[in-house]
Amino acid sequence: MADTQKTQSPELLQGTLDMLILKTLAGAGAQHGYAIVRRLRQVSEDVLQVEEGSLYPALHRLEKRGYLDHEWRASENNRRAKYYRLTPRGRAQLRTETAAWEKLAGAIDKVLSSNAVGASA
């Protein structure tokens, strides 16, 4: 049920994924795509089962907008990898989006809880 809703609302997923990527990079410094995916899955305790590949269009779009930049360097097992890093503008964007999200989430929460009261009444 939760899975079908997720796939039925790609816009929400898209905006959410962008915010989550920014948040992940804000906490951990420069990282490559695979590490970001792993971290997302780990932190969300496997709730966010996104198709791993779809991370990359989001990464590239964020870079295009100037929220991220990248450099190619050797990974921990000495392979050439593309590392992404948050820019100051990306950090500001994360703050904005987080605030907006919290406001929205709070509002939804209020609506849901008032409904529950109404239903029980």
Partner 1 sequence: MTWIQAIQSKLPLPRPEHRSNQEIEDDLDAEFAFHLEQSTRDVMNERGLVREDASDVARARFGDVESIKKRCKRIALEERIMLQRVNFVMMLIVALLVIGLGIQVLVTQRYNTLALQAITADLARMKFEAQTPSTANSTASVLVQGDVHKPGWYPIITRDGATFLKDLVERAEPTEASHSVSIRLPNQELGIIVPDAEIPSRVMQPGAIVNVKSRSRLSKSNSAEKPAATDSLPNAPARAGFVYVDGDVPRPGVYNIPSVGQLTLRRLIAAAGGPKGGGDYGVLISGIENNKNITRFESKHFTQDSDQDPDLLPEDRILITSAASKLDRARADALYDFVKQLMSQVSAEHAGDHAYIRGVLDKMEAELPTKYPNNPDLQGLIKEMIAGRRKILEYDERIPAPAPGTAPATSQAPTGAGATAE
- The Cβ of residue 62 has, within 10 Å, a number of other Cβ atoms equal to 22
Least distance from partner 1 to the Cβ atom of residue 60, Å: 5
Least distance from partner 1 to the Cβ atom of residue 9, Å: 19
Least distance from partner 1 to the Cβ atom of residue 63, Å: 7
Whole-angstrom distance, CA of residue 3 vs CA of residue 112: 20
- The Cβ of residue 82 has, within 10 Å, a number of other Cβ atoms equal to 14
Which CB atom, from 75 or from 114, has the smaller least distance to partner 1? 75
Binding site for partner 1 (CB under 8 A): 32-34, 37-38, 51-54, 56-57, 60-61, 63-66, 75, 79-82, 89
3-state secondary structure 53-101: HHHHHHHHHHHHCCCEEEEEEECCCCCEEEEEEECHHHHHHHHHHHHHH
Three-state secondary-structure class, residue 121:
coil
Least distance from partner 1 to the Cβ atom of residue 53, Å: 4
Which CB atom, from 34 or from 105, has the smaller least distance to partner 1? 34
Which CB atom, from 42 or from 113, has the smaller least distance to partner 1? 42
